[in-house]
Structure 1
């Protein structure tokens, strides 16, 4: 498999093995063998094909449409495949398509797929957890490993918001995890 048409042609040339009558013809998948998937329905029905489409055609004119189609398909994938496929798709798109998608996000675009929403939420959670630790460290409060691990493991935005406020007034990092007060 290759995204380069010339390499596909070169790799698909028959190979004479030297055995009479036995010539090996390699099976090669090049960009011309991969459909350009820009339809959300097609992408949802065959998410692996839209990933291949992004890899084969993500540098071309259809890159943005392929990326949007993938976001629709990602909603039906388990978290592990969503993450892996999403990374492959995003890394395969040209810079212009990525810029366009970023502009859509900045303009208040509401993500339609669970894939995109989950990554936005994950980013917010990670940022708030880092903010809790940054406040404690800025106040020169030692943060024990168990507190650091608990903060970084939290997935509750409301809890992290409480901890940010609490980090500004406590004198010992262990107080952060106390259940009384806010």
Structure 2
């Protein structure tokens, strides 16, 4: 069964075809940015009963000419894959008569290292085919943890988050991405909603996925797209199941832990004993950017550290 994180690692290139040229620079390969890109059928099935499907297939038009980009999301080494990849490229070249390029996107270093090798197909004395994939893994996409840098290239930041999702830098990337989406969502809710969904898919079942859901439910409360409303509603439904105040308190403590804010036993007791939904929601919102519990608790007419 294809996982949602698998889908995100190749769908991001459908959403933003120009991301390929930008990301490939990290591999030392200079492709010109596309002047246009159009999706092709991913069905490479022949008339015989053998079905083969590439994850994403794009025809890229550039000032240097055309090529077909096949994007594969690969989560683990597989002895059968090189033969399938060679088939994809040969079939595409025969079908469209356009030079093909294979990009393999891997969420871990072991798989990326395996995929980056040169695959010789044929006897060792004279390989008939040599397969040379371009590979993007955690080592090949930078950690983007600045909101300004994230805003300059949101698709690349999403890819950065997906590939670094199990690493300590994931939280900083997601916080930068959430802030960058604020400027975008005001102008284009549909695109922002797509980016939010792709990010959540790319994070899979990692710990960072929990942080992202809380960021979207709280930090994007200004964003009124169906996606954001759904995320916020899910959070409130979860709160009702556990007791709304208890659910918000749990979300706040989880967010603070993800962000590395020091929480004393007294702070924890204050949060867990609070039954004012408005106050809890305020604290949860402030926790997105706060660096201390003093910043979280401070409010007009309220002394930091005072009891509820």
- Over 3 Å counting, the alpha-carbon distance change for 1:38 and 1:11 in structure 2 is same
SS at match of 1:59: coil
Question: Does the 8 Å contact 2:112/2:136 carry over to 1?
Answer: yes
Partner of 1:57 in structure 2? 164
Q: Which of structures 1 and 2 has the bigger CA Rg?
A: 1
- Over 3 Å counting, the alpha-carbon distance change for 1:52 and 1:121 in structure 2 is closer
**Normalised by the size of structure 1, how large is the TM-score?**
0.52
Cα distance in 1 for partners of 2:161, 2:133 equals: 24
Unaligned residue ranges in structure 2 (runs of 5+):
1-104, 235-308
Partner of 2:134 in structure 1? 27
Cα distance in 2 for partners of 1:126, 1:97 equals: 17
1:66 Cα deviation from its structure 2 partner: 1.1
- Over 3 Å counting, the alpha-carbon distance change for 1:37 and 1:15 in structure 2 is same
Cα deviation digits, residues 146-181 of structure 1 (max 9, x gap): xxxxxxxxxxxxxxxxxxxxxxxxxxxxxxxxxxxx
1:48 aligns with 2:152: no
Partner of 2:207 in structure 1? 95
Unaligned residue ranges in structure 1 (runs of 5+):
128-182
1:162-181 residue pairs with structure 2 within 5 A? none
SS at match of 1:73: helix
- Over 3 Å counting, the alpha-carbon distance change for 1:10 and 1:122 in structure 2 is same
Question: Does the 8 Å contact 1:58/1:66 carry over to 2?
Answer: no
Which structure has more strand as a fraction of its residues? 2
Partner of 2:113 in structure 1? 9
1:55 Cα deviation from its structure 2 partner: 0.3
Q: CA RMSD in A?
A: 3.6
* Counterpart selection for 1:74 from 181, 194, 216: 181
**Normalised by the size of structure 2, how large is the TM-score?**
0.33
1:84 aligns with 2:188: no
Between 1 and 2, higher relative CO (CA 8 Å, sep ≥ 6) is seen in 1
1:5 Cα deviation from its structure 2 partner: 1.3
Partner of 2:224 in structure 1? 118
1:90 Cα deviation from its structure 2 partner: 3.0
Partner of 2:242 in structure 1? none
SS at match of 2:136: coil
The count of residues paired between Structure 1 and Structure 2 equals: 121
Which structure has more helix as a fraction of its residues? 1
